[in-house]
Structure 1
Amino acid sequence: MDKNHNELGNDRLTETEVLETEAASPEAALIEKGTRRWSLFSSLRYAEYRYLWSGALLSNIGTWIQSVALGLFVFQLTHSEFTLGLVNFSSSIPTLFLALVGGIVADRYQRRSLIIVTQVVQMLLALTLGILISLHTANVANIIIISLVTGIASSFGFPAWLSLIPELVPKKDLLNAVALNSAQFNVARLIGPAIAGFIISLLGVAASFYINSLSFLAVIIALLLIKPPPIKIRKSEVSVWKNFTEGINYAKEHTSAAVLLICVGTLTTFGMSHTTLMPVYAIDILKTGARGLGYLFAATGLGAVTGALIVAGLTHIIPRRNLIKLGIFSYSILLLVFAFSKVFIISLLAQVGIGIAFLTTTSSINTSLQLMAPTQIRGRVMSLFVWAFMGLFPIGSLIVGSLARLIGSPPTLAIGAAVLLITSAILYFRPQLLENVG
């Protein structure tokens, strides 16, 4: 243990470096492939990171189980696409406003303690929602309030989580730790929804929330087991606003960077937000119920895991700019297929393809931004990527939910597919927009 900590102390990263590396996608290890041999599981050699990774995997499985159950319950309760969008909006909107504040808090307090507090809060909120459903007192108002508070807790916990990982592994294995951190999230995304349908069918909706509440114990116990080396908390002399505006100014001055950020924002708003309507498709259109809903979410997770492997293998063969254009085009076509499909197996295959296209696009954009931006402002540029990737999702959910209420779910998703198709056409016919992308 002491040996590990000594090594960690020598290799500890600054916060800017953390933001730079943690934003990386699974293929990030390819960046340093030429300088050292990369082992797929090298970061798991360190017991403390292994505890954290394992706890996070179990906890994220529980989170995905609850996500499926919540969407199903809300739609069964209200039969309103708008309410589905509103609930997603409530849980995600805090990220839009509090992510930077969460970063400041992570710099001023011990990160492990902050994460434990946020995990306990989320555990209690899941338990509360399960009890409300069991007592038949759950309604839209208390669901939205609980979703909003959960989002606030997550907004403070996420930056601290990202900042903690470099304290558990040496610098030489950090990129591997980042890759495995992303992998465990997508594995949970595959497993959680797949078993959620069975849990709901056998034990009821409320059981999903109890199971998620228990799953938080895994990561809390893991956090209690690890002992990261004490770090000196120091206040930054540069304001958050100045850091933020410098990243924006870089994007303004470099067309390719701005285009990449617009692309990921468009994909999130008009593409990824289609998951808000998944309960509508499972219940009303495909007639598959809770199990079908779980399979649809799991299919997207399977596609994401597959996409990570594909990108890792194709990065040295196909230029990233081509992967980005192909990914957005493929997403638009597959989303159109899903929008009007009434055959479950076709919808399932479309979701697998959507998962592949989404991760291929976002990870290629992610890596391109990392390589393009100068070292001194790379963290701020990548924070814009995180904002576009996560912060715009609630806006997309609200748009999708509102439109679906007015014109129906299939036409709403068709509009999103059209926007993405236009985006891909612009990139194909104006290649100079991505001329600086490898």
Structure 2
Amino acid sequence: MAVRLEKALELLRSWPAFRVFRHADFRLLWFGALISFTGSQIQMVAQGAYVYEVTGRKTALALVAVFGMLPVTILSPVMGAVVDLFDRRKIIILTSIALFLATAYNAYGASTHTLTIMQIYAVALIGGFVQTVEPTSRQTIVREVVGDQDLAQAVPLQAMTFNIAKSIGPAIGGILTSAFGFATCFWANSISFLAMTFAAMAIKTKTEKSERRPQPIKDLIFEGMLFTMRNPSLRMLFLMEGALSLFGMPYFFQMPAIAKDFFHLDEAGLGVCYTANGLGALTGLITIATLSVRPIKTRIVRNAMSTFAVALAALCVTRNFALALPLFAILGACSISMFNTTNTLFQLISPGQLRGRVLSMHLWAIAGLAPLGNLWMGWIADAFGLPVALGIGGACVAAGAVLAFANRKKLIEPVVVSEPVEREGGGAR
């Protein structure tokens, strides 16, 4: 049995898209993130259903996302300097412990039937502060572990952990919520954060810190922002990401309302909607990982944005659940294809000493603008109906895609030089 498993692993590693699994530290990060993200997806179904059941308001669903992303909006460019100046492995360990404790507080409230909406908002806010440093730390460590040569494969495969979790977690969450109640899902999420804690502790790669040269604090804060805005390719990528985050992605946080109001589904049905979205995202990630060796990353970004706009416009008018499932899958595939390809481009274009700060701008475009997007969609949905809100979002994303095609010459494909050094075991050092 062990021999067969080893042969299967060797076959997997021989496929170019999966060759990064030969790095032991990458495998640790990958499995730790997979467990942690799965727990979060399990809770997402229970929490969304709970909030909508208690309040019946789409704005309340939006506010959970707003509190979870508001710190990113305010602090993300600043915290990129923190990631550059401190040990990224220790940042991951400390933030994972903080999330374990915060989510355990919600789980206890759910178990004792004392959980309030304000408690959910408060824990979401704590999670938002963690999001200002944890994703950047984790993603910059990936580059240190695998090196530039394998980075184009590593980024979508690392993101695949989140989308595998999106594929299986919501279905598990829907079943657990229906069978055992909300508390079980909250506890599963809390415990899952320990996996990332132990994975970060076990990493052997020496994580880099930028040189601590004397520098005014304002330069530390704004250097990454200025570099992004002055580089034509990064500036265009930032604007495209921002448009999708602001006008397109708020649909995801309205999924409980879409499932209940459009298709009259319970928690298990909501889990199916999330699962379809996750399977689409997983398919998108496998596709871009396979295509990562080809110089078509900028084309992937433009095409993904255009297709997303069409799918969102179609979702706002369909009331057939069978037709909606492939639309959820397309939305998941397009958003993850775009965001993960831009992630790779940001890392390849940015210089090493600014990597954390520049990557923070990428994350700020995705998550920092999201509170505004969730607020406007929640308000429009309550005031004029969810179909109107989704239609406006689709139209705005389509307009952004047209502008992206009109300015496509500003997006330059970076060239990656192959490295002669073979990285094994602990990865790049």
TM-score computed with the length of structure 1 as normaliser: 0.80
Deviations 1:226-248 (A, max 9, x none): 45548788634334532554454
The counterpart of 2:62, out of the listed 79, 85, 91, is 85
Please say if residues 136 and 360 of structure 2, whose CA atoms lie closer than 8 Å, have aligned partners that are also in contact.
Answer: no
Please say if residues 333 and 417 of structure 1, whose CA atoms lie closer than 8 Å, have aligned partners that are also in contact.
Answer: yes
Please say if residues 346 and 359 of structure 2, whose CA atoms lie closer than 8 Å, have aligned partners that are also in contact.
Answer: yes
Please say if residues 321 and 437 of structure 1, whose CA atoms lie closer than 8 Å, have aligned partners that are also in contact.
Answer: yes
Deviations 1:67-99 (A, max 9, x none): 222111111110011111111100111122233
> How far is 1:175 from its partner?
5.1
State the one-letter code of the partner of 2:43: Q
Partner of 2:183: 206
> How far is 1:349 from its partner?
0.9
Q: Secondary structure in 2 aligned to 1:340?
A: coil
Structure 1 spans left out of the alignment, 5+ residues:
1-36
The counterpart of 1:67, out of the listed 22, 44, 59, is 44
Residue 33 of structure 2 is aligned to residue 56 of structure 1: yes
Structure 2 spans left out of the alignment, 5+ residues:
1-13, 414-429
> How far is 1:395 from its partner?
1.9
The counterpart of 2:396, out of the listed 419, 422, 437, is 419
Partner of 1:340: 317
Partner of 2:115: 138
State the one-letter code of the partner of 1:59: S
Please say if residues 200 and 207 of structure 1, whose CA atoms lie closer than 8 Å, have aligned partners that are also in contact.
Answer: yes
Q: Pairwise mapping of residues 135-284 of structure 1 onto structure 2 (< 5 A)?
A: 135-165=112-142, 168=145, 173=150, 176-229=153-206, 235-239=212-216, 241-242=218-219, 245-250=222-227, 252-253=229-230, 255=232, 257-284=234-261
Please say if residues 102 and 157 of structure 1, whose CA atoms lie closer than 8 Å, have aligned partners that are also in contact.
Answer: no
Partner of 1:302: 279
State the one-letter code of the partner of 2:396: V
Percent identical: 31
Q: Pairwise mapping of residues 27-46 of structure 1 onto structure 2 (< 5 A)?
A: 39-46=16-23
Please say if residues 197 and 292 of structure 1, whose CA atoms lie closer than 8 Å, have aligned partners that are also in contact.
Answer: yes
TM-score computed with the length of structure 2 as normaliser: 0.82
Gap change, CA 1:404 and 1:367, over 3 Å in 2? same
Query: Mean Cα displacement is larger for which, 269-278 or 390-399?
Result: 390-399
Deviations 1:182-226 (A, max 9, x none): 222221122211221111111111110011112122222333444
> How far is 1:250 from its partner?
4.8
Distance 1:249 1:225 in 2: 36
Gap change, CA 1:213 and 1:82, over 3 Å in 2? same
State the one-letter code of the partner of 1:90: F
Q: Secondary structure in 1 aligned to 2:215?
A: coil
Q: Pairwise mapping of residues 325-404 of structure 1 onto structure 2 (< 5 A)?
A: 325-367=302-344, 380-404=357-381
Gap change, CA 1:173 and 1:315, over 3 Å in 2? closer
Distance 1:436 1:148 in 2: 35
State the one-letter code of the partner of 1:182: A
Gap change, CA 1:213 and 1:377, over 3 Å in 2? closer
Gap change, CA 1:210 and 1:367, over 3 Å in 2? closer
Deviations 1:249-281 (A, max 9, x none): 455555554333211101011111111110001
Distance 1:415 1:293 in 2: 23
